[in-house]
Amino acid sequence: MTQFWRLPATEIAALIRARQASATEVAKDALARLDAANPAINAVVDHRPDDVLAQAAAIDAAFARGDDPGPMAGVPVTIKVNVDQQGYATTNGLRIQKDLVAKQDNPVVANFRRAGAVLLGRTNTPAFSLRWFCRNSLHGHTKNPRDPSITPGGSSGGAAAATAAGIGAVGHGTDIGGSIRYPAYACGIHGLRPTLGRVPAWNASGAERHVGGQLMAVSGPIARTIADLRLSYAAMSARDIRDPWWVDAPATGPAAPRRAALCIRPEGMPTSPEVEAALRDAAKRLEAAGWTVEEVDAPPLREPASIQAMLWLAESRRGANKAYADEADPDANFVYAQMEALCPTPDLNAFMDGLQKRAHFVRLWMNFFETYPVAITPVSAELPFRDQSDVESHEDFRRIMEAQLTQVGLPLMGLPGLVVTTGLVGRVPVGVQLLAGRYREDLLFTAAEAIEAGGIPASPIDPVRG
């Protein structure tokens, strides 16, 4: 029997389209893999086999009628629990939202359905999707399938852990401060944070997002191959007018020189030797593919990171922090207190100044990309963190925040970032982050494919048990 769970999304879609496999066969195999792998990692926290098989049967029926169900027909994908999926609770890892059942699909979920994807299950996130770790008081603790002693990343830790373990070919994630990019890094796979406005998203189950969330939060794919990122990103980014930030920009921009900036220590970031080695390895892979790579300094990220944190906390301090007290999740309360200590309460002028400065930093970065269409930066200054180390002490939290400069600084400008895994240090993953100008995901894919081709492809793994 074919183990479809081992195959990338592009191959699954091709087999089903050629009628060499049925969507139902693939769905049954995916459910079996979920049953086998999930107990060790707790990545999927809600799934309904009857619903999965019904979706697959509808795909097979469409092909039988001669209809085209879409480019992802029959591909199993997972959905993060912080977006609306009709009939499922949008928990965001919270007990206080365990009964918040969505009445309609978020646009990103609707786009997956329109592309023919089969929604396999809902993946875990930390409470409030707040951390680069993945534990909450409702759904429990997600483990990294490669090494349970290290974090699977957060907040899309469940999505990345599931995808790395072969539970679905693609995982949906969200990113406001690294929540797609860091889990992909920690689990040894790939993840794309698209440009703001590329992928429509909106939860009808909740209130409108605060301005910081509107400017910085995006949905994007996590996958084991760059080709799968391409396929799923194209599906996710289809038009949906429910998101007023969605932009009808072309998928491919004008030709650009194959020139990349290698930024080892952006603004003095304390990049470890292992991470530096991965960056230089990625640069060599690009050079072997015909790129010119120059080691240079990156535009500012520290002040954008500070403004980002101020915008995060401004809404909480305006009243949303009551939810932290109501939920009483120990991890979330500790992390929130540490973030408050790092970020003084802004007055109206400071808030307006932060928004005003955003244009300045976007301009600096877009000018940089005129010279270097792609930048190679650390994903993190360190290898993936020891699990739960952010809540061990005030000092540990500060060290982790410093290591995550490239995660937190980028979203303020609405820029895209793509994490490519480059290999392992022992059994701990390592990789690099690629950056490009707004709406230039095509450049990121081209560079990422060259880096991917120069290494060993990421394959689904059996979870390592602690």
d(CA 116, CA 77): 10
Which candidate, 259, 263, 266, 257, places its Cα nearest to that of 293? 259
DSSP 226-295: HHHHHHHHHHHTS--TT-TT-----SS------EEEE-SSGGG----HHHHHHHHHHHHHHHHTT-EEEE
d(CA 291, CA 277): 18
For residue 457, how many other CB atoms are within 10 A of its CB?
11
Q: What DSSP designation does 22 have?
A: -
Evaluate whether 416 touches 194 at the Cβ level (below 8 Å).
Answer: yes
Catalytic site residues?
80, 155, 179
Query: What angle is formed at CA 173 by the lines to CA 405 and CA 299, rounded to 5 degrees?
Result: 25
Instruction: Look at the block and give the residue holding tokens 């450049």.
Output: 443
* Residue 264: both structure tokens together: 């080892």
Evaluate whether 115 touches 231 at the Cβ level (below 8 Å).
Answer: no
Main-chain phi, psi angles of 130, to 5 degrees: -100, -20
